[in-house]
Structure 1
């Protein structure tokens, strides 16, 4: 399964660990986990907390159980995080593939991802889907940098 939610990345992997630690080890409801994320991190709104919860699941730092959501107990290895990002976050593969031909800017990366944007996304928000996905591509690129899969250059972004 590939997850669509992508929050703005934190400043460091240490900050990512803070988001993970905000989710309990003992499974809790989505509401409880979102409230904890808001109390223990800089997440301001419930929708933003839900985005983080989903994204942490994508990175395999949180799991959904029959009893709710819980922090995983395994170490957050940077290589595993990068692999989970590439394989489990919708659009990450496509954005990272766009970096293979040399430095690209966010607009060029968006053009590479454009064919992968589902039709239902285009129809759901016909006036805003392009702006929404351009922003999403910028966040994916920033996550790629944070996870060591990309680097920011003077001309844009390149594969690391």
Structure 2
């Protein structure tokens, strides 16, 4: 199963490391970890903190234990983040395929990514969110920016939110 929630990408992998360090070394419940993430990283609400906790887990920077969540000793390297995104985040394989086929004249945009993956949006997300199209367009934008953070996508110069395959593809 792949992760759906995708928080705003950080400005750098250093900021991702700061989020990881906000998770305790001693196991804590989900509620405890979310409260700690909110307090230490200034996250706006529990849902955002929970989304970060889930993503950090997919990236191998946090793990679940029988007693709760703990941060791992792993560093958020570009390679680790790329692997975590590829293997654990919904619609990454489809996005990477689109990026491979993209060019400077036909780059991938959030709108084109949404159009290409629209039918893959889980049915229950469509049913529970009256603005699911807007939500998933925003997610497409965040996904492209995450991929750009780790060189899987490269912004096209002179274009707003348009990408081609990055050097790490």
* TM-score past 0.5 threshold: yes
Structure 2 length normalisation: TM-score?
0.88
Corresponding residue for residue 75 of structure 1: 75
| Alignment match of 2:138 (pick from 135, 138, 153) | 135
Structure 1 length normalisation: TM-score?
0.93
Corresponding residue for residue 104 of structure 1: 108
Q: Are 1:146 and 2:152 an aligned pair?
A: no
Q: Within 5 Å, which residues of 2 pair with 1:2-17?
A: 2-17=2-17
Corresponding residue for residue 66 of structure 2: 66
Cα distance in 1 between the residues matched to 2:39 and 2:127:
36
Cα distance in 2 between the residues matched to 1:90 and 1:133:
11
**Alignment deviations for residues 6-65 of structure 1 (CA, whole Å, 9 cap, x no partner):** 000111110010000000111101111111111211312111111111111111111111
Question: What is the CA RMSD across the aligned residues, in angstroms?
Answer: 1.3
Q: Which moved more, 1:96-105 or 1:58-67?
A: 96-105
Cα distance in 2 between the residues matched to 1:45 and 1:104:
31
SS of equivalent to 2:98: helix
SS of equivalent to 1:56: helix
Deviation >6 Å, runs of 4+: none
Cα distance in 2 between the residues matched to 1:142 and 1:42:
21
Return the offset for 1:124.
2.2
Q: Are 1:123 and 2:127 an aligned pair?
A: yes
Q: Are 1:158 and 2:145 an aligned pair?
A: no
Q: Judge conservation of contact 1:5–1:51 (CA < 8 Å) in 2.
A: yes
Q: Judge conservation of contact 2:13–2:77 (CA < 8 Å) in 1.
A: no
The structure, 1 or 2, with the larger RCO (C-alpha pairs under 8 Å, 6+ apart) is 1
Return the offset for 1:139.
0.6
Residue ranges of structure 1 left out of the alignment (5+ in a row): none
